[in-house]
Structure 1
């Protein structure tokens, strides 16, 4: 058809038609490639197991409901940094109060002596949260609390008021000059910082929208730090606009990114102690003479049923943070430790359970924990000194090959059924190496894969020291020089010049003979 249509067009019309046709074909191919399912990362897990059922419509500690119930899941073994299960791990989704994991990080790292620093709750906390329907920890305006108390009220009952209080304190320290960013311009240099400037200035008056403040971008230095930290941790699908997690279109993360954030927070002082507590009692304060008792929102660490008779308790669970609102559904960053292993699961987007008030994200986490602890184990897939490959050796006496070995032990989490023979080793190495070589010198990298997925990499090193033979080196270098394309080309050029020279000499001599004959003829 195109063979008939195109010849009937003018040249400009033909070019335009071809461009449009090419664009359409590329669009179709792009759509087709995008629609292809991505290769799953981690190990295969069969959710549809017969022993996991509802028990009379309720959830008990002994039975689960199958799954998965969440839009996105990411499971990581902390001990070996092995991703063991994923489901849409890079989809950006609302994170709700899991936000507070990052809030903890920024508060702890930017409030000196946070254990004893006294913070007075400003009026702005109540103003910013008015009408938001927030999860609150009972923090009151004018109340004096230590930073450590606020961290507990932030993480255990998921207090949005504690989150905003911490943010306001850091912002006030920044505005007053008591908190100086590491990359701040030198105050003695008048021109420093003029080109880039600071993204945040001292917070001035702003209008709080109905339903509470959800976007502090450009207002809060604390929120700027949250985004900078996310970038530092390698988060690709994360952006923060507030410290509490109230819904905003520009406030989101992915399960993988939240895994990175959680893994980092777990290394900070007090974090795991706080998130593992079933409850917290705030001591009496200047405006709260009786003190306050609050319970953890993470039912996986509470050994009793909820108001509906459902039990989500898991004996090995030890944290970390819940999250929920209408746009996010139920979310959870969960951790569990036993048998010498620690796993985290990030579960996001349990929408149906949220509508029914059933924490199916906790069921997903519990199911994954049980599977991992009973079916996975740490396997040493390469030991230091194991021969991984060899490489051609040059300039050595009576030796033309060098063995390469793993530089260190490599252990990863794998299903118990996996045999060593199932591990595929691929070595990235040069075509050859030249003596001298030192034992232990890094020569390349070995990549270890299982089921078409990279599970580890390890440097490969020389297994012995090899000295250089100057005689062999000179011979080899001379041979390579004589056989190199450049040398051949130069010699060919010289040969051509010699030939041309000889031809010219012959012609010259013939000319000279002819001139002599002419001269002799004239002299007669």
Structure 2
């Protein structure tokens, strides 16, 4: 029986995933070389493109997004919290991996801020280990437990971490969708976008600045094919097993998008980062094809409802609270746009103009793309006379049985009174008749 229940639950989860992934088709036809892609509008939560977003992937150094979040969860003061650089923490680190350069500063103290820059810009695995050791209380495994606990708390279902830096381990994996969830959480942490959006930074006692590995933010001859002025942050990643990985945000015309690209093949002979090229193509597409569209103006009526006890009027029109906009393709299919108003069929007076009565929701291909309040278009005063007569009627309805019993009792009393009165009258007539015959 337990096996049957488990199988049913698995099938439900799979079906729900399939439905959500295909809930809306925005027509994004960008061909990507990344094996898994997730593109979301951060203003509305609309998923513009979902390619294998729930498949198991290796995250490489994009792991450090979660590492940053856990550090930020546990350290309040980035500038005045100082950490000892102990060589034992990173002595077994692969010398071929990317580092901040802390081996030259053993025995010194560095601020959490310097270490975060060192972890996120040049993708320093040494900085990630030092931070994890500090926050984990001298136990990096304890830090990793915090990473997995946070992933579970955020609703990630396809993620498991075994280290804070992302160097390959077959049991260290995530999904594009989970990584987007983690990135959105990290964005809410102090200074995350400032640090990851910085091109270069010079930590204390460093002779040279450390540089961001996200070439989409760097405009020079070597990075020109990747440079995208609208992009800011977040993290790159690469191992032979993971391929090229990249998480970025991009903003234009008041809209911000998050793109996760995982598993792009890479060869040193080609020296082309297809995760970055994919991201460039995807930003080109969304900025060219997606826009905020006005579905209803603030003066358009979306529904009319009955008003109980209204003085002079028993109906009120509802309108959106301000202009109702939705993120839609610039050449969207209008037949796929539906507006739903959720409110009671009637409301009680008094009603005030602008009073929230319900919600107006815009759906595109059955996916919610915009919502606002439904508000009353005018004032309607309370008619106290209507309230009195309504309350009186309600009282009679609620006390119908009691009233019926009282009425019956009164009727019985009347009948008894009439019968008694009639009997007394007849008795008086008989007595009067006897007196006449006696004289």
* 1:294-373 aligned within 5 A: 294-303=210-219, 311-350=225-264, 352-353=265-266, 358-373=272-287
Hey, what does 2:36 align to over in structure 1? 72
| Cα contact 1:154–1:160 (8 A) shared by 2 | yes
| Cα contact 1:393–1:402 (8 A) shared by 2 | yes
| Cα contact 2:310–2:380 (8 A) shared by 1 | yes
The 1:310/1:466 distance shift into structure 2, 3 A limit, reads: closer
Hey, what does 2:378 align to over in structure 1? 464
Hey, what does 1:261 align to over in structure 2? 182
* Distance of 2:78 and 2:18 partners within structure 1: 49
Hey, what does 2:311 align to over in structure 1? 397
| Cα contact 2:23–2:367 (8 A) shared by 1 | no
1:246 aligns with 2:160: no
* Distance of 1:386 and 1:34 partners within structure 2: 36
Hey, what does 2:192 align to over in structure 1? 271
* Distance of 1:30 and 1:94 partners within structure 2: 26
Q: Structure 2 residue aligned with 1:113, among 67, 77, 81?
A: 77
Hey, what does 1:138 align to over in structure 2? 101
| Cα contact 1:77–1:343 (8 A) shared by 2 | yes
* Distance of 1:255 and 1:273 partners within structure 2: 23
| Cα contact 2:24–2:366 (8 A) shared by 1 | no
* Distance of 1:469 and 1:343 partners within structure 2: 52
How many residues matched? 404
- Secondary structure at the aligned position of 1:150 is classed as helix
- Secondary structure at the aligned position of 1:320 is classed as strand
The 1:133/1:311 distance shift into structure 2, 3 A limit, reads: same
Hey, what does 1:284 align to over in structure 2? 205
1:97 aligns with 2:61: yes
Hey, what does 2:118 align to over in structure 1? 153
The 1:472/1:283 distance shift into structure 2, 3 A limit, reads: closer
1:122 aligns with 2:105: no
Scaled by the length of structure 2, the TM-score of the pair is 0.75
- Secondary structure at the aligned position of 1:300 is classed as helix
Residue 369 of structure 1, CA deviation: 0.5
Hey, what does 1:388 align to over in structure 2? 302
| Cα contact 1:332–1:361 (8 A) shared by 2 | yes
- Greater Cα shift, 367-376 or 473-482: 473-482
* 1:153-172 aligned within 5 A: 153-172=118-137
* Distance of 2:50 and 2:386 partners within structure 1: 55
* Distance of 1:335 and 1:380 partners within structure 2: 25
Structure 2 segments unaligned to the other structure (5+ residues): 413-439
The 1:417/1:327 distance shift into structure 2, 3 A limit, reads: same
- Secondary structure at the aligned position of 1:387 is classed as coil
Q: Structure 2 residue aligned with 1:43, among 26, 32, 40?
A: 26
| Cα contact 1:305–1:312 (8 A) shared by 2 | no
| Cα contact 1:84–1:413 (8 A) shared by 2 | no
Residue 167 of structure 1, CA deviation: 1.6
* Distance of 2:175 and 2:12 partners within structure 1: 24
| Cα contact 2:44–2:369 (8 A) shared by 1 | no
Residue 321 of structure 1, CA deviation: 0.6
* Distance of 1:35 and 1:425 partners within structure 2: 25
The 1:26/1:126 distance shift into structure 2, 3 A limit, reads: closer
- Secondary structure at the aligned position of 2:136 is classed as helix
* Distance of 1:369 and 1:433 partners within structure 2: 46
| Cα contact 1:393–1:401 (8 A) shared by 2 | yes
The 1:88/1:471 distance shift into structure 2, 3 A limit, reads: farther
Structure 1 segments unaligned to the other structure (5+ residues): 1-18, 48-66, 173-201, 204-214, 286-290, 502-524
- Greater Cα shift, 152-161 or 118-127: 118-127
* Distance of 2:195 and 2:17 partners within structure 1: 43
Residue 301 of structure 1, CA deviation: 2.7
Residue 342 of structure 1, CA deviation: 3.3
| Cα contact 1:329–1:354 (8 A) shared by 2 | no
The 1:444/1:337 distance shift into structure 2, 3 A limit, reads: closer
CA RMSD of aligned residues (A): 4.2
Deviations 1:322-362 (A, max 9, x none): 12234433221022334454322111232x44797642221
